[in-house]
Amino acid sequence: MMEKIPPLVSIICTAYNHERYIREALNGFVMQKTDFRFEILISDDASTDNTAKIIKEYENKYPELFIAFYHEKNLYSKGIPFFVEELLPNAKGKYIALCDGDDYWTDPNKLQKQVDFLEANDDFSICFHAVKIKNEQKNSVTNDHSIRKVSDISNIYNLAKNNYIPSVSVVFRKNRNVFESFAALGDIPIVDYVLHILNARNGKIKKLSKRMAVYRIGVGAWSSQKASYRIPFLLNLLDKLIVLLSNDEKLIHILKQQYRTKSFALYNIYEKEKDITSAKILFMKICVKYPDLVYDEFKKRASILYSIKNSKICRFGSVILKYFRF
């Protein structure tokens, strides 16, 4: 019997107040045409709209597909990593596919194409594809042209420079060691990039050029936030990855370069917003953590450290200036 065959793919979906979008996501799952069994693990994080009700409707209609989790209290806001503690441990598939509740798949053969590739190529750990981007605030749909620049075959060193894998597009091999490393990093808001990096340690990355999903921006808890909110989380994440992956010098160097780039992007935002104190504190933190990467930049900006009206920061700046022997 088909229902007794273990699922080859586990689709993991998280939802919160996605009443306007969740049907598109769920329809994208159930329309998949495959020659293998798949399951859908979906978690509603205490939505205050009708998201949970809609999920329950699909769960009742497709009981052989859905495994739903309904939270009474919002776990994301409390920093509880339910993705790691609840969804991943219950996934039975050999492969994991991701899709948030506000994104959706558009090709009924998406899973079949990606799984066929991974089944035939053991040296690949990740398969993703091109997507369209829907901007809810502008009511526009465009192609994600940034993916066009990515090679059909890439690796962890390419990925370390920047995350070019949309979570809505990815299928990867389930790996217990990856999940354990992921859990060891603690609460992190950027789930997809961490998984991609950890998975890429175990194999190459394949890109399929066909656009088979839509990624929404301007509506999610993460994508709707300003860069000044997101970048500090990314810097914290990069710090953790640099420690976790310290045995690979080439990888660490690339991650540090990304840390430097993102840091100065945040620094410039602070300066533009005239938040000078935050800018200088951030800059000094960079100098202490990764002085080899910021020496020249620090030398150009060192003189403005003393403009801060805070004696402790000025003394800290003096110590750093002495350290760099300016």
Contact residues for 204 (Cβ-Cβ < 8 A; gap 6+): 123, 124, 125, 126, 153, 154, 155
Query: What pLDDT, on a 0 to 100 scale, did the predictor assign at position 313?
Result: 47
Distance (Å, rounded) from C-alpha 38 to C-alpha 28? 13
CATH 3.90.550.10 positions along the chain are 2-217
Residue 217's alpha-carbon distances to 169, 190, 194, in angstroms, are 15, 15, 20
Domain range 2-217, CATH architecture: Alpha-Beta Complex (3.90)
DSSP structure string for 139-196: TEEEE-GGGGGS-SEE-HHHHHH-----GGG-EEE--HHHHHHHHHT-S-S-HHHHHH
What is the token pair recorded at 83? 């993705």
Query: What pLDDT, on a 0 to 100 scale, did the predictor assign at position 25?
Result: 98
Predicted TM-score (pTM) of this structure: 0.86
Q: Which of 35, 34, 90 is nearest to 66 (CA)?
A: 90
Q: Which residues of the chain have pLDDT under 70?
A: 1-3, 80, 187, 189, 220-225, 292-326
| b/e code 67-78 from CB counts within 10 Å (16+ = b) | bbbebeeebbee
DSSP structure string for 121-132: -TTEEEEEE--E
Block residue for tokens 């991701």: 98
The percent helix, strand, coil of the chain (3-state, each to 5) is: 50, 15, 35
Give the DSSP letter of residue 4: G
Angle between helices 311-324 and 276-289 (to 10 degrees): 40
Q: Tell me the torsion sign for CA atoms 204, 209, 210, 214.
A: positive
Query: What pLDDT, on a 0 to 100 scale, did the predictor assign at position 306?
Result: 45
253-309: pLDDT as tens digits: 999 989 888 888 888 888 888 887 787 778 777 777 777 666 555 555 554 554 544
Distance (Å, rounded) from C-alpha 258 to C-alpha 305? 24
Distance (Å, rounded) from C-alpha 110 to C-alpha 102? 18
